Amino acid sequence: MTPARNLSRRSVIVWGGAGAAAAATVALVGCSTGPRSGNAVANDTPTEIATLSDIPVGGSIVVMVNGKQIVLSQPESGTVKAFSAVCPHQGCIVAPKDKELNCPCHGSRFDASTGGVLEGPATSALPAVAVTVNGASVMSA
């Protein structure tokens, strides 16, 4: 389980990891402004949404930022990829499992490093979400 951290004025839930079924950390501090557009998860100011140590190398976690569930994967140490955690098939939330993201509703599987479909019924990839790595911090972009 990921330890609770102050993530500054964000409501954040973290779970998943390489094979982890569930864990939860909640930090609820204040309010936030809405996302800008598209798949952006950011407010006007980039904010830490995780640290590299929160994300297993070769695995992924799901975080909630501004009410949107986002997958953060770390295919190589220090490289973070981010995708919407909403399955493009019918909207269920995918779950990290090792190097994949599995949809519990109808069995679609996605590559956690690319968001690409490994197995349907989903026919489109998980949409990419912009994040940046600043030192050990994963920041909304």
CA 83-87-90 angle, 5° bins: 155
Binds ligand FES (CB under 6 A): choice among 21, 23, 78, 106: 106
Q: Which of residues 6-65 bind ligand FES (CB under 6 A)?
A: none
73 touches ligand FES by CB under 6 A? no
Q: Please tell me the distance from the alpha carbon of residue 63 to that of residue 84, in angstroms, as a whole number.
A: 10
What is the total count of residues that contact ligand FES (CB under 6 A)? 12
Among 87, 131, 138, 139, binds ligand FES (CB under 6 A): 87
User: Does residue 105 belong to the site contacting ligand FES (CB under 6 A)?
Assistant: yes
Choice between 7 and 101, CB closer to ligand FES: 101
Q: Which of 25, 17, 26, 91 is nearest to 56 (CA)?
A: 17
| Integer Cα distance of 65 and 49 in angstroms | 7
DSSP at 86: B
d(CA 119, CA 13): 27
Q: Which is nearer to ligand FES, 3 or 91 (CB)?
A: 91
Applying CB under 6 A, the residues found at the interface with ligand FES are 87, 89-92, 103, 105-108, 121-122
